Structure 1
Amino acid sequence: MALIANGVTKRDRIAFSGQNTIQHIILRFSAKLLGLTFMPLSPTFKSYEVYEEVRSAGTNIIVTSSEDYHKFEQVFDDNNNNTSNRNPVVKLVVVFDGELQQQQQQHQDIKHTTYGQLLVDGSRMGGQQLPQIPYYEVNPDTDPLFLIHTSGSTGRPKCAMISHRTIIGVAQGMTFFMSSFNSKNTNNNTGAKNKQTVCAMPYPFGHITATAYIPLLMISGVQLVLMDDDINDDGKDLLLIESIKKYRIQILMALPSYGRRLIDPNLALKYDLSSLELMITGGAAFSGHIAQQIIDTYCIKFIETYAMTECLWVSTGGNINDKFESGNVGQVAPGCQLKICDLSTGEPLGPNQDGEICVRGNNVFMGYLDSDNRINLEAIDEDGWYRTGDIGHYDQRERLFLTDRLKEVIRIGIDNHYVNISPVEIEMFVLTHPAVSEVVVVGVNNSAGCHWPRAYVVRKQQGHTVTGDDIDKFVADTLAYTKQLKAGVVFVDTIHRTSIGKVDRKYYRNLVMNEIFD
């Protein structure tokens, strides 16, 4: 009610940015209960990316932490220069941690408030409650609940629209999964069957996993242990491990890169992780031998899941009681249809034949915001099938197995999660350097099981000089640290291309195939 009193309406869109805090998540829930559309921003974004994404999505309410406030300075500076609906006037800024600092009060033309002030405003209203939920009328099929950026493989991040209907469908699948886990929970180390499930959630709130699954796990009755994302990589590893012991965590949701930490030979001896019953992973291929070591060391169940920004719940994950099989992501999730298509003809394939995975149903996104019809049809055809860009097959038991990937995204590990970065986005930015003629960016393997970007650069021939360090600094000064060229810059005379003139990305993947950075 306090947000409504501060002028928030159905027409508004809210951008969220900042660290993981209880206040942050309460404000997210407030937006959901009001029936508003909100846009989480990746914590890796710098001012450049924040400005571009806020402007493209038309968000006019900012919810941010004090630490992230500076990322919106260019947005605020444009407030008096509004010339179109794509560059809207910011009408309200909510700082959810602490008080406004002096430098944050210089934008006098924009209304500012804090989480604490919203609580005061609400108490002054006599504890009024929403007469209905959602407060504003919502069409679950056509109104987006949230907008979230996904790199795809075609340049700057695209903004996926996730409808209320999609979240309802995913919630049904999540409830089914959690009830299935609880009914099979017979681990004597954790007490009685059907005791409230405790799950670790180490993802930042700007990540699709936290945005979608935190509220869904909560309505499933799960107790969540949230991780502050303000600490360094090693500290986060240690915090997560110590939290398993302290809070008796049963379910660990983690990216494949975290698996290497769990097989540290000293870990099982030093920390009591006996409460663990299940590890859930997804987002990238998980090494089969590492998974088996985790299973043997901790005597837990291990399942791989399959989801993405454009389809939040593709498969149920491997059956919790089945023997682990690497690459098995389980059967098709409730509310979702799946087919495997021949890479050449597009025709559906039968069991045990690899092809492109296509999905449709309630779990699929609405399309990309402000994209022309061609781009959306490339993603979702006229029959509603979304082309995932992933390659796999299903077996006689209708279990889905992932085997390869068509899309060219670079997978960057951050703490215990990952982000997908488009090489084309980095290339487009590097090409703005006055000394660069051509560039191709490729992901080079690292020891964490993800990638680091490398740029192969062709210099302009006359009047320009540039070094690898110059290119590194050019990128680091403007783009998020996830897009920095940690695998270096290599100067070449020409860029390899296919017969039709496209960059031959397969050539560059093969070029770096055997490289692994520590």
Structure 2
Amino acid sequence: MNTKNHTIFELNMSDDYVIRSPKRDYEIPDTSVGAFVAKVLAQLDSQTKCIVNAIDGSQLTVKGLTTKCQSIAWALIKRGITKSDTILTFAENSTELAVVMFAAMFLGVTLYPITPIANVYELDQLMDTLGPLFVFTSTAKSAVIENIIRKRTNERQMVRFVSVLDNNHNIYVPYERLLDEGSGHTLDAIPYFAVKPKKDIAILMQSSGTSGVPKSVMISHKAFVATLTSFIKPNDDGAGKSAPVSYQMTQFSCMSGLTVLFGYAISGVTQVIADETDDQSVLKAIETFRVNFLGIVPAFGHKLICGQFVDTYDLSSLKALLASGASFPANVGKQIIQKYRVPLLEVYGMTEYGALTAPDLGTAEYIPGCVGRPADNTLLKVIDCSGKSVGPDVDGEICVKGPKLFSGYLNNVLATNEAIDDNGWLRTGDIGHYDRQHRFYITDRVKELIKFGTKQVSPAELEQFLLTHESVAEAVVVGVPHRTQTQWPRAYVRLKTNKVVDEEELKSFVSDSLSDSKQLRAGVVFVDHIRRTTVGKVERRYYRQLVANELIED
């Protein structure tokens, strides 16, 4: 890799408009996730708090984490786990879940974290694609696992072992029993099973599923180590320079949540977690544990400004806010900065790559919609419909290339080939552009654009505009099929508390400022809440399904 130190503009842009990180590339260790994590943890103070449970106050130190994950790993070895088995987790965030995830890496087996909001049908479909499983679940989710096992006899052969993390269970093995079985034992080697970093899959992760059935994303050991190295820069002594206390709002089952879990642990940052993310619980935890760094999703931003409990708790410990998961409304972002006087940093990532961009920590300037510059060791470009790279301030599809790239979709060569071109560039499916300072902006998703005649309408643009209305709290826009083989925009809107506005007023609000193709011809529907995924993205598939069988005849 090129390690020469150039100025930002010499380093960042080549003749074909490929944008590079402003930082120098550095070598990615050719090792397994388990070996990398174990080595870095050994360099930290063993009494450093890794994880604190905000609900019961229980804590897990670096020593506690490494000791318990080796105990769990040893117990699983004695129960017959092999290199070909996958550890599947289906549970809410907890210290126990974190231990199991680290244990999977110490063993060298594949980890597949599943979102706790998945249902029987979704899990049943997923298990059709997998090999033998060791399952870890919670009491609340154990019935789903049992339903799947009972449904078909072949599932009993595939699900080799089930453990419940949070309580005793009349059928499955309690987590505490595994700890007792492995107590006092350590692994002869980490990872226990031999790992080929470039070839072997460390993590399987469901894609976001905003269009079509979610796919299983394969992430190699080499790719995830590349992600984790961004938490510990070259010449670091192992102690990260991030905020000392963070609050984890996202589930460990999504890429951002899993990355933060491992990344903060190896950089000496204490993570406060909870299985409750209502605004009062989060704000109370910030006050109680003096949280410095809070990762938020856009849906939570409004609660930080005018939520019911926002002025009830002392939030003066906050030093920075990191926003991800979806576009952050500009007016909300500005109000948050004004109220708390801390930086609001937006980043852009995806399951198939991890973080594509990194915020500019050297400036306090807030630029609405800006998601930063290319992340470490990462190349970005924007292409037009013909596949040609374009220059600054021109919208197109964002593509990424680098060592964090996923290995492909499990059992889906066609989808893999559609996503990654012959030169190793991943087509993200996101529309955006970069400015002359090489800062990136996300506009929309390719598959979510509304086709109105010959025009392509960005629902995100319409949503952002609707949020500038004083009465609108949240909005989602979709295209409703029209008999002319086109689509008409419709808005689903949640109003702010004690605010009143009718459909015609909102339609007029749009028509007064936006072009003809962006009018809400399919109307406005007022709702009590907007459905979102666990990482805060609007669940567009749900709203597209609502209108899929409609056909406007006018």
Q: Retained in 1: the 8 A contact 2:371–2:442? A: yes
The Cα of 1:383 is off from its aligned counterpart by 0.9
From 402, 405, 408, give the equivalent of 1:364: 405
Distance across 2 between alignment mates of 1:202 and 1:11: 32
Aligned to 1:116: 176
Opposite residue 96 of structure 1, the aligned amino acid is L
* 1:153-176 alpha-carbon deviations (Å, 9 max, x no partner): 552111111111121111122334
Cα deviation, residue 379, structure 1:
0.5
* 1:57–1:159 Cα contact (<8 Å) kept: no
Give me the CA root mean square deviation: 3.4
The question of 1:350 aligning with 2:391 is answered yes
1:390 paired with 2:430, answer: yes
Q: Name the SS for the 1:390 alignment partner.
A: strand
Distance (Å, rounded) in 1 between the aligned partners of 2:432 and 2:541: 31
In structure 2, distance between residues paired with 1:80 and 1:495: 47
Query: Secondary structure of 2:104's partner?
Result: helix
Offset of residue 224 of structure 1: 0.4
Among candidates 98, 104, 107, match of residue 34 of structure 1: 107
Task: Give the Cα–Cα distance (whole angstroms) in 2 for the partners of residues 153 and 243 of structure 1.
Answer: 31
SS for the counterpart of 1:119 is: helix
Distance change in 2, residues 1:152/1:49 (3 Å)? closer
Match of 1:226 among 257, 260, 273: 273
Summarize deviations over 1:410-451 as a string: whole Å, max 9, x none: 99xxxxxxxxx9x9xxxxxxxxxxxxxxxx9999544399xx
Aligned partner of residue 91 in structure 1, secondary structure: strand
Contact 2:210 2:541 in 1 (8 A): no
Structure 1 residues 218 and 447 mapped into 2: Cα distance closer, same or farther (>3 Å)? farther
Matched with 1:514 is none
**Aligned match of 1:56:** 129
Aligned to 2:366: 324
- CA shift in 2, pair 1:448/1:404, >3 Å: farther
User: 1:220 and 1:21 mapped to 2: Cα distance?
Assistant: 20
Within-5 A mapping of 1:430-441? none
Match of 1:407 in 2: 447
* Residue aligning to 1:241: 283
Distance 1:37 1:237, change over 3 A: same
Report the CA distance shift for 1:444/1:169 in structure 2 as closer, same or farther (over 3 A): farther
Q: C-alpha offsets along residues 182-208 of structure 1, whole Å, 9 cap, x if unaligned?
A: 99xxxxxxxxxx796111101223233
Q: Residues 220 and 447 of structure 1: is their aligned pair in 2 closer, same or farther, counting only changes over 3 Å?
A: farther
Q: How far apart, in 1, do the equivalents of 2:106 and 2:244 lie?
A: 25
Q: What one-letter code is carried by the residue in structure 2 that aligns with 1:400?
A: F
CA contact (8 A) 1:315 1:331 kept: yes
Q: Distance in 2 between matches of 1:482 and 1:43?
A: 16
- Distance in 2, matches of 1:317 and 1:212, equals 16
Residues 1:394 and 1:487: Cα distance change in structure 2 (over 3 Å): closer
2:160 corresponds to 1:91: yes
Report sequence identity in percent. 32
Q: Report the 3-state secondary structure (helix = DSSP H, G, I; strand = E; otherwise coil) of the residue aligned with 1:93.
A: strand
Q: Name structure 2 gaps, 5 residues minimum.
A: 1-73, 450-458, 461-475, 479-486, 497-537
Q: CA deviation at 1:64?
A: 0.8
Shift of 1:321: 2.1
Q: Distance in 2 between matches of 1:395 and 1:206?
A: 33
SS, match of residue 349 in structure 2: coil
Aligned residue pairs total 406
Is 2:254 the counterpart of 1:207?
yes
In the alignment, structure 1 residue 137 sits paired with structure 2 residue 183: no
CA contact (8 A) 1:318 1:328 kept: no
**Structure 1 residues 123-159: Cα deviation after superposition (integer angstroms, max 9, x where no partner):** 3xxx221122111111111211111111445521111
Structure 1 unaligned regions, length at least 5: 106-111, 184-193, 412-420, 424-439, 450-480, 497-510, 512-518
Residue 303 of structure 1 contacts residue 329 of structure 1 at CA under 8 Å; is this kept in 2? Answer: yes
Q: Which amino acid is the alignment partner of residue 167 of structure 2?
A: G
Q: State the partner residue of 1:430.
A: none
- 1:382 and 1:447 map into 2 onto residues whose CA distance is 44
Tell me, in whole angstroms, the C-alpha distance in 1 between the residues paired with 2:371 and 2:539. Answer: 27
CA contact (8 A) 1:252 1:280 kept: yes
Query: Whole-Å Cα distance in 1 between the matches of residues 549 and 196 of structure 2?
Result: 53
The alignment status of 1:169 with 2:226, answered yes or no, reads yes
The structure-2 alpha-carbon separation of the partners of 1:347 and 1:88, relative to structure 1 and needing over 3 Å to count, comes to: farther
Offset at residue 488 of structure 1 (A): 9.4
1:493 Cα deviation from its structure 2 partner: 6.8
- The 1:99/1:315 distance shift into structure 2, 3 A limit, reads same
Q: CA 1:38/1:214 → structure 2, altered by over 3 Å: closer, same or farther?
A: same
1:69 matched residue in structure 2 = 142
CA distance in 2, matches of 1:292, 1:119: 48
Query: Structure 2 CA distance, aligned partners of 1:402 and 1:20?
Result: 29
CA distance in 1, matches of 2:94, 2:357: 30
From the superposition, tell whether residues 492 and 224 of structure 1 become closer, same or farther in structure 2 (CA, over 3 Å).
closer
The verdict on how the C-alpha distance between 1:42 and 1:265 changes in structure 2, with shifts beyond 3 A counting, is closer
Q: Residues 321 and 258 from structure 1, CA distance in 2 versus in 1: closer, same or farther, beyond 3 angstroms?
A: same
Q: CA deviation at 1:18?
A: 1.2
Relative to structure 1, the CA distance from residue 378 to residue 489 in structure 2 (aligned partners, 3 Å threshold; closer, same or farther) is closer
Going from structure 1 to structure 2, the CA distance change for 1:338 and 1:484 (only over 3 Å counts) comes to closer
Give 2:535's aligned residue: none
Matched residue of 2:231: which SS? helix
Match of 2:205 among 148, 155, 164: 148
